[in-house]
Amino acid sequence: MTFGRGRLGRKWLAGEGGLWLTVLLRPPALVNLQLLSLCAGVAVAKAVADLYGIRAELKWPNDVIVDDRKLCGILAEGRAEADRVHYVLVGIGINVNNDLPEYLKATAVALKELIGHPVPRIPLLRAVLKNFDLGYELLIGGESAKVVGLWKRYSSSLGKYVRVVTPEGIIEGYATDVAADGALIVDVGMGRKEVIYSGDVVHLRTKT
């Protein structure tokens, strides 16, 4: 494999040495895809912290970053009709021992660079799947608030002034919270708050 698929049909480079996986789920009822993305992000961040002592953060909606460089991307998709779920796919791509092209080195990072040497992927895979399973059980058990709470512990977006590029336009303001359904809440000033379900977030140092 040399590439995968990211959000909005973007290409995801998947060079040899990375950890690229898709989890197939058949939930008993409709499940929120955004919450599954948050759950997967927590699973990766916790695994990286437990195994390597690396403080990874979560950038809404689906990136795992270290020092503002992307370590992992996540994509959740599914097929459902009425109240029946056929399947859900959660794709997780982690830069582990793969070499990143020069043009990505300012915005992406691999574990081997952070640690200083290549690392075995199987322990990481096991830890991620174990953490994800625990979070998934919370979601299907109706305890999504716990998953959102865990995500907030690792968040790099909350409290920052952000620019969010959405299908409807650009929104700027302070990211103040994540709702129970995984939506990002942005305070745009004048007492107004925007609830955002889809978009690309850019962290800004100050108002532009």
What is the reported pLDDT for 10? 52
Interatomic CA distance for residues 35 and 185, integer angstroms: 15
Per-residue pLDDT, averaged over 171-199, amounts to: 95
What is the predicted pLDDT for the residue at 208? 52
d(CA 133, CA 136): 5
Instruction: Write down the pLDDT at residue 39.
Output: 98
**Residue 45 pLDDT > 50, yes or no?**
yes
Are 110 and 96 in contact by the 8 Å Cβ rule? The answer is yes
**Structure-model confidence comparison of residues 112 and 82, the more confident one:** 112
Rounded average pLDDT over 175-204: 95
Kindly tell me if the per-residue pLDDT of 79 is higher than 50: yes
Q: How far is CA 176 from CA 1, 33, 79, 123, in A?
A: 39, 21, 31, 35
Secondary structure class of 182 (helix, strand, coil) = coil
State mean pLDDT over 16-26.
96
Q: How far apart, in whole angstroms, are the C-alpha atoms of residue 91 and residue 77?
A: 8
Percent of the chain with pLDDT over 90: 83
Does the predicted model carry a pTM greater than 0.85? Answer: yes
Does residue 2 carry a pLDDT above 50? no
pLDDT, tens digit (0-9, with 9 covering 90-100), for 95-122: 999 999 999 999 999 999 999 999 999 9
- What's the average model confidence in pLDDT over 69-96? 92
User: Which pLDDT band, with edges at 50, 70 and 90, does 19 fall under?
Assistant: very high
- Answer yes or no: is pLDDT of 1 > 70: no
The total number of residues written for the chain in this structure: 208
The pLDDT assigned to 145 comes to 96
- Please report which confidence band the pLDDT of residue 85 belongs to, taking 50, 70 and 90 as the band edges: confident
What angle do the packed helices 33-52 and 121-140 form, to 10 degrees? 140
Average pLDDT taken over every residue of the chain: 91
- Residue range 125-174, pLDDT digits in tens: 999 999 999 999 999 999 999 999 999 999 999 999 999 999 889 999 99
User: Cβ atoms within 10 A of the Cβ of 25, count?
Assistant: 17
What confidence tier does 53 reach under pLDDT thresholds 50, 70, 90? Answer: very high
**What is the per-residue DSSP string for 39-95?**
HHHHHHHHHHHHHH----EEETTTEEEETTEEEEEEEEEEEEETTEEEEEEEEEEE-
The pLDDT assigned to 31 comes to 87
